[in-house]
Amino acid sequence: MAAALLLIVTGMWSCATKESKPEGILPPDVMSNTIAEVLLAEEKVNHLHLTNDSAKKVFAVMRGKVFQKTGVPDSVFDRSMNYYIDHPKELEQIYTALVDSLNLKEQRASVRPAEK
16-70: per-residue pLDDT in tens?
Answer: 445 688 999 999 999 999 999 999 999 999 999 999 999 999 999 999 999 999 9
Per the model's pLDDT, the better-predicted residue between 53 and 105 turns out to be 53
pLDDT of amino acid 20: 82
Q: Which of 31, 111, 12, 43 is nearest to 76 (CA)?
A: 31
pTM of the model: 0.75
Q: What stretches of the chain show up as alpha helix (H) in DSSP?
A: 2-16, 28-46, 52-70, 74-85, 88-110
92 pLDDT above the threshold of 70: yes
Gap between the Cα atoms of 26 and 109, Å rounded:
28
Please state, as a whole number, how many other Cβ atoms lie within 10 Å of the Cβ of residue 84.
22
pLDDT of amino acid 17: 44
